[in-house]
Structure 1
Amino acid sequence: MNLPRWPRDLGLGVRFALAGGRESWVRTVLTAVGVGLGVALLLLSTALPNALAERNAHEQARMDYTFDSEPPPAADDTLLVADVDTAFGDRDVRGRLVEPEGPRAPLPPGVDAYPAEGDMVVSPALKELLASDDAKLLRERLPYRIVGTIGESGLIGSRELAYYAGASGLAAHIDGSTVSRLERFGERSPTEEESDPVLVLMNIVVIVVLLMPVAVFVAAAVRFGGERRDRRLAALRLVGADSRMARRIAAGEAMAGSLLGLAVGTGFFLIARQLAGSVEVMGISVWPSYLDPSPVLAALVAVAVPTAAVLVTLFALRGVVIEPLGVVRAARPARRRLWWRLLLPPAGLAMLSPMVGQGRAEGDFNQYLVVGGVLLLLVGVTALLPWLVERFVARLGAGGVAWQLAVRRLQLSSGSAARMVNGIAVAVAGAIALQMLFAGVDGQYTEDTPQDLGRAQMQVSLPDGTPLAPTAERFAGTEGVRKVTALWEGYFGDSSWRSGNGPDLATELTVGDCAALREVAELPSCADGDLFVLDGSDYSPDGPKLNVPGTKLYLESSPAASRAEVVWTVPAGVTRAHAVEDPTGTRRGGFLMTPAALPEDFGTAVAGQLYLSVDASVPDAVEHVRNTAAAIDPLAEPVTWSATTTSARYDSLRTGLLVGAVCVLALIGASLLVSQLEQLRERRKLLSSLVAFGTRRRTLGLSVLWQTAVPVALGLLLASVVGLTLGAVLLRMTDTPVAVDWASVLAMTGCGAAVVLLVTLLSLPPLMRLMRPDGLRTE
């Protein structure tokens, strides 16, 4: 190999690509756009680790939970902060009430000065939302005056809804969780979460599956205009270039398109980076400054894309004979060999097979084997599909004119058709495998809640001292509320809770009217003023032991509480009752009291729990409940019940997959459209000739549709087989029973087909323009 000739020939190819006339630069521009779309997504992928790290760092920096059993003493450098998070529709709103106890109180990140009582500082997104016509109910819930905005350093995303509002009197509610006294913001004792091997495996597979279609599209984009390029290379042979020189010039042209694609992709990325500040996907948003690609990974992309363009071009030309008088590809091409294509999927399965049955018991999965195995299986799709399309279309027979035109075109250039579909086939195969994996392990990260949604759909926790009857009445009168079960709760101990060791025996206290108490116990009879002690409790069996007349019981209170400790003496004749499952699904124990039996000083020492039955047919019923809770006390915590609860890390990974899938689908659609336009441009003269001979435009439109539909159907069929195989292996690796959710498989293939159909429809207007007679012009 004469190495010094390589730079010269590659440079000549670059000159042909950039200065070879209208045809050359149009082809180069199409290649650059196709490559640029892939490069933009690759750069986005390299920026994601930094974005996630920045979001986590901002979250840790503003952490305001202490969970201290004894808060620090009040001083001029302490702050009282209360968690008053809420939600509006399906969007979370982070809320904090703040009360500085001195001029040196620590400021949260992004806040320059504390708002006075009745004022608040808000995130830009919340300010925008509150100014909209749709936020009337939220404005009622947040009756504060906006006096400023939270800076970027205090938010984890550009679209996050958050606020800090001034308050007073928070010291009486300190509990270390809802209300805390802080000396500084930030994580107190960062702990390393124990890694879950299955989640690590899923994370690796998600990354590979999302990036593989991007690589396929970039490889396909550098081959745009292949037929015209080869005819031009034949002309170069005629003026003295040998076959190797012609291939190096072709590689130089591809390299020029890929280098321009790097520039275009960088531009796309910078535009998308700037737009990221105004976009929220699946509840996730970032600031543009978060999306800084890793320098090492960005450099890898910059080197890998041109290198891949050269190698792909040389590989594509290995079976093409370029002679001075033409290209031996217009004749019947040699059949594609099958044997080496069949080796790839078994090789991938062989890499994954040692980890079958490993599950969580044997630690983390081998990342190199996982990446290699998944890659080989997905690459097997791209290798098998051209052979499958070639064999299938060779057997297609007669039909209508549109069908015959499509079949003949596919028989002459099955490789081009397969390349256009390869990316969608890889994406669908990966999506099916991931869907099987997520569906299979979902039960391990999703648990059924014990809450009885037939009896209540919302729960409102009220702070100590909230009055009983008036509060229940206000919720009963709230729009959309059908029933209110109001219970006030506390804990009794046989000794003071403020002593060093606490009580030896403890049990619950539940207060409510007779109707509410019947939700938690079988009562023989009930009237206001009655007392009961429960048996049959799930977790609080000490009630009967403490039901000894004359025994002094101490109501739970924290050492930091300002009020005096409340003591109750057990009277004689307390009725026994049997516990039943309450709306939360548990059998509670201890003592039951009706309001008339509650000592007067207990009213400020018990906390309310309201269980609400809500009419889902009433618009914004949940929002009305939240507004009532906020109006009664800003520290009230309304919670909407659900039948299941999901692991936060698993849910985060699933959300990341959905966000990535949206980006990849957008790339697939855009790249397919560019590829389709490039193929139509190459066939402009042929299409114009057919129209000139009387072929109807409708017929040509249908032929284009058939040319797309046949390889797409074959690609989706192959993708389903490979996806199901990969999904089954991944499930066996996680030691999970193999099951196929056919509805999800059909949904994945349907999404792939829908993207291709949409691209085909969008290409019809350009197709009609290309059928004009002026398409017969030539230079």
Structure 2
Amino acid sequence: MSRRSGTGWAADLALGARLVFAGGRNGLLRTLMTALGVGLGVALLLTSTSVSTMLGGRSERTAARDDQFFGVDQPPPGDRTLLVMAADTTYRDAAIRGRLLQPDGAHPPVPPGLTRLPGPGELVVSPALARLLDSADGALLRPRLAHPVVGTIADRGLSGPNEYAYYLGTDRLRPGGGTMRIDRFGTEPSGEALDPVLMLLVLIIFVVLLLPIAVFIAAAVRFGGEARDRRLAALRLVGADTVTTRRVAAGEALVGAVFGLLAGAVLFLLGRQLVERVTLEGISAFAEDVRPSPALTVLIVLAVPALAVAVAQLALRRIVVEPLGVVRRSADRRRRLWWRLTVPIVGVALLAPLRGGIDQTGGPVNQAQVITGVVLLLVGVAALLPWLVEAVVGRLRGGSVSWQLAIRRLQLDSESSARMVSGVAVAVAGGIALQMLFAGVQHDYVRATGQDVSRAQTMVLVRGDLAGADAGSLAERFRSVPGVDRAVSVLDATVSPVGSVPDEYGERPGTLLRIADCTAVRELASPDRCVDGDMFQIVDDQSPARADLPAPGQQVELGFRDPETTRWTVPSGLRTVPTRTDPSGSRVTGLLATPGALGPATLHGLGATVYLTMDLARPDTIELVRNVAAGIGPGADVQTLRATEEVTRFAQLRRGLYVGVVATLLLLGASLLVGILEQLRERRRSLAVLVAFGTRRGTLGASVLWQTALPVLLGLALAILLGTALGGILLALVGQAVRLDWSSIGAMSGIAAGVVLLVTGASLPVLWRLLRPTGLRTE
């Protein structure tokens, strides 16, 4: 076939496209494998571009139902106002959003997702919470929400389909304390600005999660490369020149990329329907929120075919397509190392000027410079891996039959194996670097709470009016819970001067009065002695400002709200004692009385704090404690005390990294399986010949394992080397000392190795089928 002058590039591309379908069943299978490999990558890219819409939809719905307007003047009671109290709880580490609602009039606001407010004692729940309450797993939760369910919260009132949430109607709320009066639901969605260090983490996470996908897509378009090269040699035999063969190769690559885009769209749409069944770290998403960004979708549609054509053209540089065959990688020409090292070196050079220039209070991060530098360093893993595999396997000799079969195959064609595992190596390198960065900066985002977990592990706060409460019986209710070793209860009230004017919410300004027995007194103060009937003034010696405490003999009123107050005269002879940091880390000043000095049974407006020492290793204990607290009052809040706490945004990014890396490695594992199956299919005749000559099936299975495992081990070694180097550079950017996080390195490498082992094991059934005598048949 001589090339006519009238034949243009369009005709050559069309010829390449026709050749894809002219190869019979094998040609179609090759195209299908390419489309599936590319499609898996495209599906994850489309999912990644949907993250912003998923988070945006979640943010809009949570803002639309917001009812906690702190720092804003509350409206006066009226026909269109509503009292609301947060009644969140936790069950089995799952957060449950709860609200108590009480209308002031006939036309109160209704939260999104509800058609009407529930009446007193009526419960409206989310679909996920309804399923939990109806299941055997919700047995310990049902006593906490023992009210008739009269409705279900619609989707627009939920952050996600699997959120646990409820609204409970009541008539027991009073203004003040934790109760707010509102005349509307909803605020404007607002995004909290990230400091430069967190922004750096976001940028690196973005690169680490998406770059391995791009690397694998580049490898997937080369599936069936040997058969493609033979077709190009046939074209040269009938007269096509080099330019024509390159255009034909581009046409074949375009067909695989286009089919990959279509497969990716189908996989994305199928996965989109399943997204509502998945909950990660307590976060779920509605299928309608999983919408790719239009601009990024267009970029993917254009970039994937362009990448396919570029890879096809670069692959032709490594071979010589002549009329009588294909010559690959002649023995006297080894892969050049210099340009492969240049890629990560340039990345280091880009990042080096930023050393020590990024901190929590600094200026904005140069995002383009950071992204480019990190991309080049990680691309260096993919660039160096083929050279490393070739250099190592070229020096290996001897061993078992299975080992020799694997090594000989790698010596003949190490590029295909290295190409398949390069995406995994890039993901591991990026994950190691990120984990090092997280570990290096976490001390800036993990802060001491001041809570003393050696004295108590749980604190129960009871808001509302505990009229006639007794601290001893309150503590005894918790002491009876299996797993609770100790319970210390304190009653809280407010002391206000007689005649003080309540504010617009009916609350009086005043001083804290705490009522506790002597055991509890020693948790709150440091008296030299204590007997029932004593009363103390507690002052904070560490605070330069002293509280204005009521004087002995002064008449005061107990209670923070009219008309439920009690007249009382502060007794003379009060002993002043220093305050003590309580188990929750608080230091308070005020009055401290034992029950004998002031009988709490006659008082109104009491709250309570209960400190519990308990065995947190028993999972049911904390749930039983929450049930007891719910039985005391609807506003009871059970808090687990912790010595440290993590900044919310930092914790969210850490969870996002974990979820993203695991999802990426699983996708790469699925894609790697496609690549192994394609290699096995291309080698089916040679494998069948080996079996026909007496090679054991177990030997061939072991050879496939070695052929996959060796590039993976070399890739992991390279990933650890460059990943720790990148992690050290990132730590230098934020001014932190370089420390190796061996646990993260081991975890990332272990997950990657496990994925590869699972993939190789999944390919063995296909290998056994290909070893049948029918594998000798050819078309």
Q: Give the shorter-chain TM-score range.
A: over 0.9
Q: Hey, what does 2:217 align to over in structure 1?
A: 218
**Residue aligned with 1:99, SS:** strand
Deviation at 1:69?
A: 7.0
**Which residue of structure 1 aligns with residue 630 of structure 2?**
630
Q: What residue in structure 1 maps to residue 526 of structure 2? A: 522
* 2-structure distance, mates of 1:601, 1:449: 34
* One-letter code aligned to 2:461: S
Change beyond 3 A, Cα 1:514–1:494:
same
Structure-1 residue corresponding to 2:666: 666
Distance 1:309 1:758, change over 3 A: same
Letter of the structure 2 residue corresponding to residue 479 of structure 1: P
* Alpha-carbon distance in 1 for matches of 2:455, 2:283: 34
Cα gap change, 1:529 to 1:509, in 2 (>3 Å): same
Matched residue, 2:254: 255
Deviation at 1:548, TM superposition (A): 3.8
Give the letter aligned to residue 514 of structure 2. Answer: T
Residue 537 of structure 1 contacts residue 589 of structure 1 at CA under 8 Å; is this kept in 2? no
- In structure 1, what residue type is equivalent to 2:525? A
Contact persistence 1:385–1:422 (CA under 8 A): yes
Q: Flag the 1:100–1:430 CA change in 2: closer, same or farther, 3 A.
A: same
- The match for 1:62 is 65
- 1:634-683 per-position Cα deviation (integer Å, ceiling 9, x unaligned): 11111122232111111111222222122202211100100110111111
Q: Give 1:408's aligned residue.
A: 408
> Contact conserved, 2:321 with 2:327, CA < 8 A, in 1?
yes
- What residue number does 2:327 align with? 328
Give the AA of the match of 2:81.
Answer: T
1:181 maps to which residue?
181
Query: What do residues 180-227 of structure 1 show as CA deviations (whole Å, max 9, x unaligned)?
Result: 111111127x66634311101100100110001100111000000111
Q: CA deviation at 1:495?
A: 7.9
Matches within 5 A, 1:436-475: 436-466=436-466, 467-469=469-471, 470-475=473-478
Higher mean displacement: 259-268 or 494-503: 494-503
1:509 to 505, 509, 513: 513
1:74 aligns with 2:73: no
Pairwise CA distance, 1:716:
0.7
The 1:194/1:327 distance shift into structure 2, 3 A limit, reads closer
Gap runs ≥5 in structure 1: none
Distance between the aligned counterparts of 1:108 and 1:76, measured in 2?
Answer: 16
2:389 is equivalent to residue 389 of structure 1: yes
> Distance between the aligned counterparts of 2:546 and 2:604, measured in 1?
24
Kept in 2: contact 1:689–1:776 (CA 8 A): yes
Residues 290-301 of structure 1: matches in 2 within 5 Å? 290-301=289-300
Residue type of the partner of 1:379?
V
The structure-2 alpha-carbon separation of the partners of 1:588 and 1:538, relative to structure 1 and needing over 3 Å to count, comes to farther
Which structure 2 residues correspond to residues 229-628 of structure 1 after superposition, within 5 A?
Answer: 229-329=228-328, 332=331, 334-360=333-359, 361-466=361-466, 467-469=469-471, 470-492=473-495, 498=501, 508-539=512-543, 542=546, 546=549, 548-553=551-556, 557=560, 561-564=561-564, 568-598=568-598, 603-628=603-628
Q: Cα RMSD between the aligned structures? A: 2.4
Cα distance in structure 2, aligned partners of 1:672 and 1:200: 32
- For 1:516 and 1:69, locate their aligned partners in 2 and report how far apart those are by CA, in whole Å: 36
- Larger mean Cα displacement after TM superposition, 237-246 or 74-83: 237-246
Aligned to 1:688: 688
Rounded Cα–Cα distance in structure 1 between residues aligned with 2:448 and 2:720: 32
Cα drift, residue 564 of structure 1: 5.0
Instruction: Give the Cα–Cα distance (whole angstroms) in 2 for the partners of residues 8 and 497 of structure 1.
Output: 93
Deviations 1:409-429 (A, max 9, x none): 111101111101101100000
- How much has 1:331 moved relative to structure 2? 5.2
Deviation at 1:744, TM superposition (A): 1.6
Secondary structure of the 2:611 match is: strand
1:86 alignment partner in structure 2: 89
Contact 2:436 2:741 in 1 (8 A): yes
Task: Give me the whole-angstrom Cα distance separating, in 2, the residues matched to 1:496 and 1:621.
Answer: 46
Alpha-carbon offset, residue 577 of structure 1: 2.7
SS class of match (1:595): coil
Residue 85 and residue 499 in structure 1: after superposition, are their counterparts in 2 closer, same or farther (change >3 A)? closer
The question of whether the paired residues in 2 share the 8 Å contact of 1:673 and 1:763 is answered with yes
Q: Report the Cα distance in structure 2 between the residues aligned to 1:590 and 1:273, rounded to whole angstroms.
A: 58
How far is 1:552 from its partner? Answer: 4.3
Counterpart AA for 1:286: A
Cα offset for 1:395?
Answer: 0.9
Query: Post-superposition shift, 1:563?
Result: 2.7
Q: TM-score, normalized by length of structure 2?
A: 0.95
1-structure distance, mates of 2:59, 2:159: 8
- Contact 1:474 1:628 survives alignment (8 Å): yes
SS of the equivalent of 1:163 reads strand
* Aligned partners of 1:378 and 1:426 also within 8 Å: yes
Residue aligned with 1:604, SS: coil
In the superposition, relative to structure 1, how do residues 173 and 624 fare at CA in structure 2: closer, same or farther (>3 Å)? farther
Q: Is the 8 A contact 1:35 1:222 kept in 2?
A: yes
- Cα offset, 1:546, TM superposition: 3.6
Q: Give the SS at the match of 1:328.
A: strand
Show CA shifts across 1:493-537 (max 9, x none). 668764679999975422101111122223333222211123444
Alignment of 1:19-58 (within 5 A): 19-58=22-61
Q: Matched residues in 1 for 2:711 and 2:500: separation?
A: 74
Distance 2:743 2:492 in 1: 46
Once residues 150 and 750 of structure 1 are traced to their aligned partners in structure 2, the CA distance between those partners, rounded to angstroms, is 42
Distance 1:197-1:229 versus aligned 2 partners, 3 A rule: same
Q: Whole-Å Cα distance in 2 between the matches of residues 424 and 618 of structure 1?
A: 39
Secondary structure of the structure 1 residue equivalent to 2:140:
helix
Instruction: Establish whether residue 161 from structure 1 lines up as the match of residue 160 from structure 2.
Output: no
Instruction: Tell me how far apart the structure 1 counterparts of residues 695 and 570 of structure 2 sit (CA, whole Å).
Output: 99
- Classify 1:419/1:602 alpha carbon distance in 2 versus 1 (closer, same or farther; 3 Å): farther
Contact 2:558 2:603 in 1 (8 A): no
1:109 and 1:380 map into 2 onto residues whose CA distance is 51
Task: Kindly state the Cα deviation for residue 163 of structure 1 after the two structures are TM-superposed.
Answer: 1.0
Q: 1:504 to 1:135 in 2, by over 3 A?
A: closer
Check whether the contact 1:535–1:541 (CA below 8 A) recurs between aligned residues: no
The corresponding residue for 2:148 is 145
Aligned equivalents of 2:482, 2:450: Cα separation in 1: 27
SS of residue paired to 2:528: coil
Paired letter, 1:388 = L
Give the Cα separation in 2 of the matches to 1:180 and 1:3. 81
Aligned mates of 2:452, 2:432 — CA distance in 1: 34
Q: Contact conserved, 2:489 with 2:520, CA < 8 A, in 1?
A: yes
Per-residue deviation, 1:696 = 1.2
Return the alpha-carbon distance in structure 2 between the equivalents of residues 737 and 707 of structure 1. 39
Taking structure 1 as reference, are residues 72 and 333 closer, same or farther at Cα in structure 2, changes over 3 Å only? farther
Shift of 1:359: 2.5
Worse-superposed segment, 522-531 or 347-356: 522-531
Q: Does 1:99 pair with 2:98? A: no
Query: 2: distance between equivalents of 1:73 and 1:508?
Result: 26
TM-score by length of 1: 0.95
Alignment coverage as a number of residue pairs: 771
